[in-house]
Amino acid sequence: MTICSDCRRDNDDGVQFCLGCGRFLW
């Protein structure tokens, strides 16, 4: 799993979406 430095937490689902690599982190 790749961790991106630029991530924002989506409060709706509580899922982190990394804009850097475009992956969803749970």
Condensed to tens digits (0 to 9), the pLDDT of residues 1-26 reads 555 555 555 555 555 555 555 555 54
CA–CA dist 23, 26 (Å, integer): 10
Question: How far is CA 6 from its chain centroid?
Answer: 8
Q: Which residues contact 11 (CB under 8 A, 6 or more apart)?
A: none
**Both tokens assigned to 2:** 């790749």
pLDDT of res. 9: 56
Residues 6 or more apart whose CB falls under 8 angstroms from that of 26 comprise 15, 16
Q: Model's pTM, two decimal places?
A: 0.15
- pLDDT score at 21: 55
The pLDDT score that the predictor gives to residue 7 is: 57
Q: Which domain holds residue 16?
A: 1-26
Report the chain's C-alpha Rg in angstroms: 8
> How many domains does one find in the chain?
1
